[in-house]
Structure 1
């Protein structure tokens, strides 16, 4: 199947949900509740898949408002009162549910509706019973991008905010110097987690990916982009900057790139 859902238990009670190798969500099961982190493109009934893994009450968090992280929310309308998202990304997420034609057809075929959004902010803590997810805000990829720290397992869920192929060329992405300031504000998280699970992963990445990405953005802010190449994507042509990661750490891929618009660089 082209959009098959692949499920892998990466640690006891923590599941990676890979939808057709296009986007990744997660399920974290605690003693009392379970949390779904991102719902991908809605190609599969994700709620039914989750219910085969746990019968605990569900909390649903969207790390940001892009379609490939929220469209599967529709399958949870009978299980949750609302999906949690940063208020800074709420309008963005709602706009996609209103403007993507396939959403109405998905709802009609499945008999589900889009659940409303509720707010979640930095400093909030989701207590699942024996496992807690602490919320941090990392504006950059979107204005309301969220990170979730699973303290007990030392895992940082990063959506698209920290990954191997960071898109900063989209409308709504922050200027490069502001992204750097946001990352610098949160670099203490490297001491609180061992690994990263991002929104397009198939396995863990070492937490040092965070610092490597930060250094790549610093290079751009310093004007060290003379060897950067064009980056062609569905929105046009922009630029891509390769950044380095240590060879003695575990990363799920070898290529590390920041995509950006030249006008977003410091003047």
Structure 2
């Protein structure tokens, strides 16, 4: 059977782990311990895979509570999550929900090959609180967590200081979902991106995300601010988009892997009734 995960080394201190479904999680190696950012869908024996990469004790920090990022948490003992995202984790952690996600991404036949590796649902899992500005000192390398709400209320970004790498995950990428009931309006999101851009200015040389490809252009936040403005000015391309029973539009024209046809990074998938903060949305 094909392995669900494989490693893409970035440096001696940082390993990217890519899932068969295209999600990236990141393993940062310190002198005294390791930090794993995200745990994917809770499938494929992630803990065993990570323990084959390092003998260091492992701490886990989650970017947010969604089905494709937080569901492997029960495999580990020391997991941090912004508490505002716990309800999202609880709604999406069932095996049935996760199997549906795998089928949507891999197809029925391939998804069924991994069904027996699904982690048992643990809606009452006791997370440790992940706070804005929290620092993980791994020994020789530090990782700082910062709030970047929008995609979810508890969305977090991570700055690996010594590597000058900013991990934005789903906070700002080429297919940022901004259309379900947990997301904010486009106008509010634009303000969050502007705040993050100021916070991280001059502190990174590379930006990594969580889907399809690892590294994106360092100007992605500026590009995303422009995308938000186009949406508010009603000049976006607005391609139809459907995902697990939900309908939305893609702001900028792109291909099936969300690469924009104009060559820029940064794109939003949003709902027409969730553009301005004053709008009454559900």
TM (norm. structure 2) is 0.81
Which of residues 221, 225, 230 is equivalent to 1:210?
221
What is the number of equivalent residue pairs in this alignment? 252
CA distance in 2: counterparts of 1:49 and 1:69, whole angstroms: 16
SS of 1:177's equivalent in the other structure is helix
Matches within 5 A, 1:3-14: 4-14=4-14
Which residue number corresponds to residue 263 of structure 1? 273
Relative to 1, partners in 2 of residues 1:197 and 1:255: Cα closer, same or farther, differing over 3 Å?
closer
- Report the more deviating stretch, 170-179 or 214-223: 214-223
RMSD in angstroms over aligned alpha carbons? Answer: 2.7
SS of 1:59's equivalent in the other structure is strand
Matches within 5 A, 1:76-91: 76=76, 80=77, 82-91=78-87
CA distance in 2: counterparts of 1:111 and 1:101, whole angstroms: 11
Deviation at 1:65, TM superposition (A): 0.5
CA distance in 2: counterparts of 1:147 and 1:158, whole angstroms: 5
Structure 1 stretches lacking a partner, 5+ long: 245-252
CA distance in 2: counterparts of 1:170 and 1:102, whole angstroms: 16
In the TM superposition, what whole-angstrom CA distance separates every residue of 1:50-102 from its partner, at most 9, and x where no partner exists? 111111111101100001101122322xxx2x3101111122212323x4447
CA distance in 2: counterparts of 1:10 and 1:63, whole angstroms: 19
CA distance in 1: counterparts of 2:45 and 2:150, whole angstroms: 30
Which residue number corresponds to residue 167 of structure 1? 177
TM (norm. structure 1) is 0.85
Contact 1:213 1:243 in 2 (8 A): no
In the TM superposition, what whole-angstrom CA distance separates every residue of 1:37-61 from its partner, at most 9, and x where no partner exists? 0011122111111111111111101
Relative to 1, partners in 2 of residues 1:198 and 1:19: Cα closer, same or farther, differing over 3 Å?
same
In the TM superposition, what whole-angstrom CA distance separates every residue of 1:215-258 from its partner, at most 9, and x where no partner exists? 21122123323x322222222322111179xxxxxxxx867531
Which residue number corresponds to residue 220 of structure 1? 231
Contact 1:18 1:202 in 2 (8 A): no
Relative to 1, partners in 2 of residues 1:261 and 1:3: Cα closer, same or farther, differing over 3 Å?
farther
Which of residues 230, 235, 242 is equivalent to 2:240?
230
Pairing 1:94–2:81 present: no
